[in-house]
Amino acid sequence: MRFLGCLALFLIVLFIAGPVYSLSCIGLTQSVEWDDVKLEKGNTSFFTTKVLNSSSGTGYCEQGYYTIELSLQEKEFELDEIFDWNVDPATLALSDNESAPVLITLTPKVEFGKFVLLIQATRSNSAGGTKILSASTAKMKITVGDSADPRFSAIPFWRIRKDCPGGFVVRQDEECPRLCESGQAADEQGKCPEDKEEPNVIVVEREKIVPFGSTAFFVLGGLQLSFESFILIIAIVIAVCVIAFFLLYTRNLKRQVRGGLR
């Protein structure tokens, strides 16, 4: 009889320990700012919770399949009557000691009211969710009125982040920073320590000396002429000028002689 009593006690402890072990492999974060969240009709607000597949001790957690669901603590209201809402992702798989953020989007449909939103994560042992092993619930106390809390008006950074080379992270609409040789990002002007300002160098061309016997070229009126051609043109111009001067001088002399004879 004493043996049967010990066996029964062992089975009871084992039965209780099963769910406790399962619960140690699920977690759902709840922000301290959720104790008094103010929302306004028609204005969308964004919230982040994180699902954890980890043990509070050193135990190993098998891969878990999680489903995130929302509901209201007030049973007289349906969630769809009070809010337009979305959960992304609504289902996810996590390996041992793995976690993942979940975005919750809420847009009130009513003018006023106080509600308690329940966020529940359930863990199953298969993708189909045929058997729920454990669950975890977070709460959000919401007041719908004539103003919205600005802390939740923007999409969280983790949803719009972009990974850049060197381990840097920026918004999706921003350019990745320039990496310097040290691996650090460039300054606000996009400069690195290795950048050196080049001094202004004034280049002065030396006068070209043409050796005797070689052919030089001159540009005259858009025409490229050799040295010999250039000299020939100059000689022709001088000859024309001399002849013109001689003709004018002779003509003038003849006039003076005729005038003297009269």
pLDDT in tens, 90-132: 999 999 989 999 999 999 999 999 999 999 999 987 655 556 5
For residue 45, give the amino acid letter: S
For residues 175 and 66, the answer to whether their CB atoms sit within 8 Å is no
Tell me the CATH architecture of domain 23-153.
Sandwich (2.60)
Mean pLDDT of the chain: 79
Q: Which residue has the higher pLDDT, 134 or 91?
A: 91
**C-alpha pair distances (Å), 15 with each of 9, 129, 134, 192:** 10, 22, 14, 64
Q: Is the pTM of this model over 0.85?
A: no
pLDDT surpassing 60 at residue 17: no
CA-based nearest residue to 158, from 171, 142, 174: 171
**DSSP line for 36-99:** SEEEETT--EEEEEEEEE--SSS-----EEEEEEEEES-TTS-HHHHEEEEEESSEEEE-TTEE
For position 172, what pLDDT does the model report?
Answer: 77
Q: What is the dihedral of CA 72, 74, 77, 80, to 10 degrees?
A: -10
- Ranking 91-100, 129-138, 159-168 by mean pLDDT, the lowest is 129-138
Top pLDDT among 8 and 182 is at 182
pLDDT of residue 211: 52
**Half-sphere exposure (Cβ direction) of 79: Cα atoms closer than 13 Å:** 14
pLDDT (0 to 100) of residue 259: 63
Q: Is the pLDDT of residue 73 over 90?
A: yes
In DSSP notation, the chain reads -HHHHHHHHHHHHHHHHHHHHHHTT-EE---GGGGSEEEETT--EEEEEEEEE--SSS-----EEEEEEEEES-TTS-HHHHEEEEEESSEEEE-TTEEEEEEEEEEE-SSSEEEEEEEEEEEESSTT--SEEEEEEEEEEEEEES---GGGSS--HHHHEEE-GGG-EEETTSPPPPBPTTSPBP-TTS--TT--PPP-----PPPPPPPTTS--EEEETTEEEEHHHHHHHHHHHHHHHHHHHHHHHHHHHHHHHHHHH-
Instruction: Inform me whether the pLDDT recorded for 186 exceeds 80.
Output: yes
| CB hemisphere CA count around 30 (13 angstroms) | 16
Cβ-count burial of 38 within 10 angstroms (0-12 exposed, 13-18 middle, 19+ buried)?
A: middle
Q: Is the pLDDT of residue 232 over 90?
A: no
Can you give the pLDDT at residue 224?
58
